[in-house]
Structure 1
Amino acid sequence: MFTYESIQAFPKSELHCHLDGSIRPKTLQDIAKMQQMSIEEDLHEIEAKMRASKTCRNLEEYLVCFDYVLPYLQTAEALTRAAFDVMEQAAQDGVVYLEIRFAPSLSMEKGLTVSQIIKAVATGIAQAETQYEIIGNMLICGMRNTSSVQVKEIFTKALASGETKIVGFDLAGPEADGFSLEFTEPLDLVAKSTKVHLTLHAGECGCTQNIHQAIARGAKRIGHGISLAQDLDSLDHTICIEGCPTSNIQTQAIASYEAYPVRQWLDRGISFCLNTDNRTVSGTTLTNEFYQIAKAHALTETQLRLIARQGIEHAFTSQKIKTEILEKMAQSSLERI
């Protein structure tokens, strides 16, 4: 078995990490006090409200935790602090490349514009890059519980911001069958761009057809994709699944780490990587995701390295950065007990 410490020290990339679901309770408390907003003094109480139950009945119940956090993320200063915090956590977790995703529409209650929100998050990322050996980029999310017109507006303004840290777009929130067909215009907008890519949450709730429709809309990566376990022969092998095991267990998509389809995907040559989804909401780290999956499936060093390598190979970043990180991975060891 691999040691937890060696996995933590191993250079990793993370492609599926939500900003609002990954802020540490102490940081959220600091953000609240910075804005003179009311918040519990007991960090355990804050953590309890930020963390999803291990026995959520479904995805919708899992997402309730975000309602507690979002009121505190309505100023530029709060967003910058939050982004720095998530980058700092990732760096301490051995992550050398991180794509943070967030929905600008959820931080506009006090008048911030899309451009201001993006700039604030980019500032936090840049601050962390000067202090830690980590590179960060951004994925802009449209919310599936809003209209196609609203999502297109967000995407249009994000593209117009000119922020170079934006490398991709996504649709997030509750997953309905056929959702990508309802957002044709904003997805076409991304597909026509030569500077950004598309990743879509799909197949998180057993909707396998959503995965195929997302790929047809231009998605290069699929968030979660857990329902693919039922339809292994139909996936384009150039597509990467952004796996989030702990989150999938909490939302009842799978029963356990042992039930995660690692073996099926490895045997069929399906590209996938491991991610936290939401560090705080799921009470996890990327090291923990690797450790639990390696233990549950008795993975070899070759298999663990393959999963790590697939993450950076499918990152929405330059080939130069990919090559540098792949070299770091090749030079790093993974000790076993």
Structure 2
Amino acid sequence: MKQGAAIGTADIHAAATYRSRRELRFRRLKRDKWLYILLTPGLLYFLVFKYVPMWGVLLAFKDYQPFLGFWKSDWVGLEHFRTFFQNPDFFMLLRNTLVLSLYNLVFFFPAPIILALLLNEVRLSFYKRTIQTMIYVPHFISMVIVASISYVFLTTQGGAVNEFLYSVTGSKIDFLASPDWFRPLIILQTIWKECGWGTIIFLAALAGVDVEQYEAAVVDGASRWRQTWHITLPAIRSTIVILLILRMGTILDNGFEQIYLMMNALNREVAEVFDTYVYALGITQGAFSYSTAVGLFKSVIGVVLVLGTNWLAKKSGESGLY
């Protein structure tokens, strides 16, 4: 009897706890209703444009024919993936994509960090705001304009750079058609256009560093370099790690528009990447299923790299993404 009464009391207590938690959640929902209303457009955006289109990945496993429709097209399984991996262009595409991504990680990823550290040392707010405005502006310039500027400066037919080289050395360099110059040009364009915009997150992280740590370091006789190495960089390390993890998810994305605008028949051997390959097959040739398979391959690799990098970050003592 005592045991039965104890069990009944426990059930009543559990039910009361459940009701109290439910009432608490309801009160919080009612209190924060306007925040949830403000959250609704963002949720709808991701639902409509991110999750619903995921049904489209089924095209990678079908032989899609427009006149048959999505559901009546034949199911071919992994046939498009086998065709893609056996394609002679696969290793060329993989090499070009990975090399450009490696260049981005080595040269572009640290650039906003270095620029943010330099801006953080500027004490006069007027000069700091002026410099920030100047380096933010290229982010809002279309990549078509960036490619046009590159053409105007680098073309052999009256380009400012080649005219200067010709006046000094008596020869010109065909930057736009040379395979050796394609990757450096892409990286330089990316740094010029996006480096300033990338400093926003790091400057925000630097704003949260405790000023008293710098004051204590000055008292101890630490130089500016020592303060940066032992105070500033450790303070923004978690931000750097998180952005690196997110960057690894797009390791196979090199920016279709930029590559497409700078690519030509003479530099195609180093310029053709997965993004331009998908466009050439999916849009110009109508191979929708095959190009979807290529895009799905990129996405799977991105997910694996994000999970792997996040795992390594947590093993090294960082919080990671989750």
Q: TM-score, normalised by structure 1?
A: 0.26
Give the structure with the larger strand fraction: 1
Larger Rg: 2
Between Structure 1 and Structure 2, the one with more helix by share is: 2
- With normalisation by structure 2, the TM-score equals 0.27
